[in-house]
Structure 1
Amino acid sequence: MSTVHQDSPELDRVWEQFCDTLKRAGNQILRSEAPDNLFDRAEGYRYLSRLTRIALEMQVESGDADFPTFMVPSHETAKIGADNPDNFYQVALISGRNEYRVTGSLNDAKNINFSTKRGGYDTNGRLVASGLIEARNMTIESDGSFELILSKEERHGNWLKLDEDTSQLLIRQYLPRRRQQQPAQIRIERIGATEARPKPLNPAIFAEKLLRAGTFVENTSRMFCDWAESYLSRPNTLPAADQKLCQAVGGDPNIFYYHAYWELKDGEALVVKVPRIPKCDYWNFVIQNYWLESLDFRYFDICINKETAVYDENGGVTLVLANENPGAANWLETAGHRRGTMCFRWIGANEHVQPETEVVALQTLKLGN
């Protein structure tokens, strides 16, 4: 990585390197197995632009471990790797050499998952959990407020362990009725800070952060394009994912994942049937585009979960993925897409019931209703 001193031309070269990295990331959209129609390719380039926004916000604007702030790495218009629309995500870049205080108030969050991570998509492409605590296992005040200490040495009360190489704090807030619910308001501060604010812009540090942002875009796009490619051999099925791989790149250890590729012709629908729902904290099913971004959940119903599903008489659930409403209770809209990826999650399930899938004629479903 370049180091910038008092040499403006060297900083110019850093900018060129950043731009070259983004250009190289574009090769992921042009991979031979990736869809080459105009619609999916446009989404692919939009995906890269979104990753760039995320990377700059995370690495450049919020990337000071001595003065950490939370940013939202996946949201309505910027998404990473099979994001969950029922989650409100927050990330703060931190360091194991410091101690931190996290405070907040639960509001409508059903549960909040706090996890410390090692690594990063900007470095080794991994994001391994080093500590985990959930709000339901914390002491919460009667008004919903809480305090959580992050440190190497154990503290009394709510505490989350830091390791020497801890690099970030990732928060998942579960909001199963996200359109009506208010996420928790959460803040972070470094304990023992001797200065109230960071120093003015340091060109050398800025250059390092900019290069990390570019690497983040390239590594992230490559990794999840690799995932999409790995699903192509079994279209319209929902096999269990490689759980160790999911955990190695930031997945929640409480989640059991299924990832897959779907593709439908005109007049077809994909029926996903779960014969029974075991005891669990939560489950959901999400439709994504080829680039593993959830479809636009602001305006389309592309996600169904434990609370929003209509159940079968026997306690199971039948989900229907189609571009046109077949009159089914649990219809998920493909929002103009012919192909994409999908994800089913169990959280805290006492068993993992395999979802069954079948491609059927859309007209058959309509006649059945």
Structure 2
Amino acid sequence: MNSDESAVRDVVSGAVWDEFCEALKQAGRQVLRPEAPADALDRAEGWRYLTRLLRIGLEMHLEFADADFPGFFLPSHETGKIGADNPDNAYLFAKINGRHEYVIRGTRGSVSYLSIGTQKGGYETNGKMEQTGFIDAKDLHLGPNGEFEIRVSAEKPASGDWLRIEADSNAVIVRQTFLDRKTEKPAQLTIARTGTDAQPAPLSAVRLQAGLRNAARFVDGTATLFANWAQSYLPHANQLPPADQALCQSVGGDPNIFYYHSYWQLAPDEALVIRLPRIPDCRFWNLQINNWWMESLDYRYHRIHLNKHSAQLAADGSCTIVLAHRDPQHAPTQTVNWLETAGHERGTMCLRWVGAHEQVHPVTTVVKHDQLHQTLAA
């Protein structure tokens, strides 16, 4: 029996569904790791995190998996989060085949930062998403209304904007970064394969089986990858050192970004003071607070991040950020930015400099809440 016949048999019998459910169970091991928090909130968010990864995995590997007929979908958003997802970002993702050619068309909008990259690999396979091509919107040739067209191919075209791919390229990822979502207009993009007039075929047993298998692998692989990251931050709790930049790039990081990642943990009467001595010349920066699972905390209802637009700076150009369970109630003469823990006692955090001419490292201090005024005044 060949693989196509085997897939038909398993789909008709229901074995494909049993296999899928059994594979999903493996991801639960990451929630139960010995170093992971075992309190009710973190555990509940861990199980919810797996359901969120499953939704993203099904979009990626079943609904939008056909590289002959690609479409952009949201791989991270308010209720689906991966690897310190940026609250200031709108992400788009499309599956491609590096042996084909594509065209991306769109309008630039007014969003502060826009980048488009191609990648190979995947969290469901080798745990990496390595870049194979990249274009910064500042280098695009725009029409009078901000329109653009990008050729996506292995060979550079004679003219026009070009996004490089390799034979192993399998995805396009778009990052749109907002200074202020209320006032900025996002870019609009579409993607299509070129050189074919074919129509999509009906869902086959082979595609269904492959999609479910890859979705389950995506859940387990993604949960494992970022559980390993969270564990690696434990030795420098409540500090914010530079991350391993090569590692960040290997899993899909933007090459214009310099990253800091760490772990935080605060008792009910403690606060974490994060001081940026100065803000370097950069296109964008932000700092965000995440849970243990490296999901940004719920920025719809809580102030859990600051950026170049929202942060208040002191007269000397420094920025003081206080992560605390309650409002520090600082004096009117002090310029202090409060970030909420949103009911959490621990989690991870991330700082980004985007296009910075230098990296200014933050300084962190844990203090008792009742000593905050004295610390901030000093």
Q: CA RMSD in A?
A: 1.6
Distance 1:94 1:46 in 2: 29
Instruction: Name the CA shift for 1:361/1:180 in 2 (closer, same or farther; >3 Å).
Output: farther
Other structure's SS at 2:238 match: coil
- Out of 339, 357, 367, the residue aligned to residue 350 of structure 1 is 357
Name the aligned partner's letter for residue 362 of structure 1. H
Structure 2 unaligned regions, length at least 5: 331-335
State the match for 1:330 in structure 2.
Answer: 337
**CA drift at 1:122:** 1.7
State the match for 2:265 in structure 1.
Answer: 263
Asked whether 1:341 is paired with 2:341, we answer no
Asked whether 1:241 is paired with 2:248, we answer no
Other structure's SS at 2:224 match: helix
- Out of 25, 35, 38, the residue aligned to residue 37 of structure 2 is 35
Instruction: Name the CA shift for 1:290/1:194 in 2 (closer, same or farther; >3 Å).
Output: same
Superposed CA offset, 1:95-153 (max 9, x none): 11111111111223112100000111121111000100011111011211111110111
If the length of structure 1 is used for normalisation, what is the TM-score? Answer: 0.96
Superposed CA offset, 1:232-258 (max 9, x none): 111100011111111111111111111
- Out of 72, 75, 78, the residue aligned to residue 76 of structure 1 is 78
Contact 2:284-2:355 at 8 Å conserved across structures:
yes
Asked whether 1:87 is paired with 2:89, we answer yes
Superposed CA offset, 1:6-64 (max 9, x none): 31467622222211121110010000000001110000000000000000011100011
Distance 2:182 2:264 in 1: 26
- Out of 173, 177, 180, the residue aligned to residue 170 of structure 1 is 173
Name the aligned partner's letter for residue 173 of structure 1. Q
State the match for 2:282 in structure 1.
Answer: 280
Task: Report 1:120-131 matches (<5 A).
Answer: 120-131=122-133
State the match for 2:310 in structure 1.
Answer: 308
Structure 1 residues 119-128 or 33-42, which shifts more? 119-128
Superposed CA offset, 1:297-328 (max 9, x none): 11111110112111111111111111211135
- Out of 336, 339, 364, the residue aligned to residue 371 of structure 2 is 364
**CA drift at 1:182:** 3.2
Contact 2:10-2:16 at 8 Å conserved across structures:
no
Distance 1:111 1:148 in 2: 17
State the match for 2:222 in structure 1.
Answer: 220
State the match for 2:333 in structure 1.
Answer: none
State the match for 2:210 in structure 1.
Answer: 208
Distance 1:107 1:255 in 2: 21
Distance 1:106 1:37 in 2: 45
Other structure's SS at 2:357 match: coil
Distance 1:348 1:301 in 2: 25
Structure 1 residues 14-23 or 231-240, which shifts more? 14-23
Name the aligned partner's letter for residue 167 of structure 1. N
Query: Deviation above 6 Å: which 4+ runs of structure 1?
Result: none
Other structure's SS at 1:166 match: coil
Distance 1:70 1:323 in 2: 38
Q: Percent same amino acid among aligned pairs? A: 49
Other structure's SS at 1:22 match: helix
Distance 1:244 1:5 in 2: 39
State the match for 1:161 in structure 2.
Answer: 164
State the match for 1:59 in structure 2.
Answer: 61
Superposed CA offset, 1:308-349 (max 9, x none): 111111111111111211135311111111100000111111
Name the aligned partner's letter for residue 320 of structure 2. T
If the length of structure 2 is used for normalisation, what is the TM-score? Answer: 0.94
Distance 2:76 2:357 in 1: 29
**CA drift at 1:75:** 0.3
- Say how many residue pairs are matched: 368
Contact 1:309-1:330 at 8 Å conserved across structures:
yes
**CA drift at 1:217:** 0.3
Name the aligned partner's letter for residue 23 of structure 1. K
Name the aligned partner's letter for residue 78 of structure 2. E
- Out of 190, 193, 216, the residue aligned to residue 190 of structure 1 is 193
Name the aligned partner's letter for residue 233 of structure 2. Y
Structure 1 residues 229-238 or 177-186, which shifts more? 177-186
**CA drift at 1:366:** 5.1
Contact 1:11-1:207 at 8 Å conserved across structures:
no
Distance 2:364 2:205 in 1: 54
Name the aligned partner's letter for residue 124 of structure 1. N
Structure 1 residues 209-218 or 102-111, which shifts more? 102-111
**CA drift at 1:154:** 0.9
Superposed CA offset, 1:275-294 (max 9, x none): 11111111110000000000
Name the aligned partner's letter for residue 365 of structure 1. L
Asked whether 1:150 is paired with 2:157, we answer no
Distance 1:11 1:150 in 2: 41
